[in-house]
Amino acid sequence: MSPEHVVRAWFRRVWEQGEEAAIDELLAPTAIAHGLPTPDGRAMIGPEAFKPFFRSFRSAFSDLRVAVTHAATEGTLCAVRCEVSGVHSGDGLGIPASGRPVAFSGMTFVRVEGGQIQEGWNSYDFLDLYRQLGIVAI
């Protein structure tokens, strides 16, 4: 499977379909995920470190959609730009569900080897998401 196919499968199966088992299939045991919110600000290493973030985010939003609008691949690397949308229908972010629709964008740069994500660098506009939820005012 090409790096782009792996990345597109990741967003479709893990994020849109909520298929937690796909995390173990598509994310290498030693994979490093940079740029996602963690309590200590450090990168997540491996599927078990990633799953709490996945569960929290998925439980906070229903009708989650991730549209990969652009993709570029060079060798084992794939960069994608995404448009994310959903409805804040759960308290997975530690705040009560607001019922508000949200939409924000971001980019992920991924290294894929052996059909699995080995390392990913994420840059998503979580500030815009938090603004839409009323967590921060700007």
Task: Tell me the domain boundaries of the chain.
Answer: 3-132
pLDDT for res 58: 95
Residue-wise pLDDT for 56-99, tens only, equals 999 999 999 999 999 999 999 999 999 999 999 999 888 899 99
Query: Taking 80 as the threshold, does the pLDDT of residue 37 lie above it?
Result: no
pTM of the model: 0.91
Q: Using CA atoms, how far apart are residues 71 and 108, in angstroms rounded to an integer?
A: 10
Number of DSSP helices (H) and strands (E) in the chain, helices first: 4, 6
Q: Using CA atoms, how far apart are residues 117 and 33, in angstroms rounded to an integer?
A: 9
Q: Using CA atoms, how far apart are residues 96 and 42, in angstroms rounded to an integer?
A: 26
- The residue ranking higher by pLDDT, 56 or 1, is 56
The fold of the 3-132 domain, in CATH, is: Nuclear Transport Factor 2; Chain: A, (3.10.450)
- E strands present in the chain: 27-34, 44-45, 61-74, 77-88, 101-113, 116-124
* Residues 6 or more apart whose Cβ sits within 8 Å of residue 67: 82, 83, 84, 85
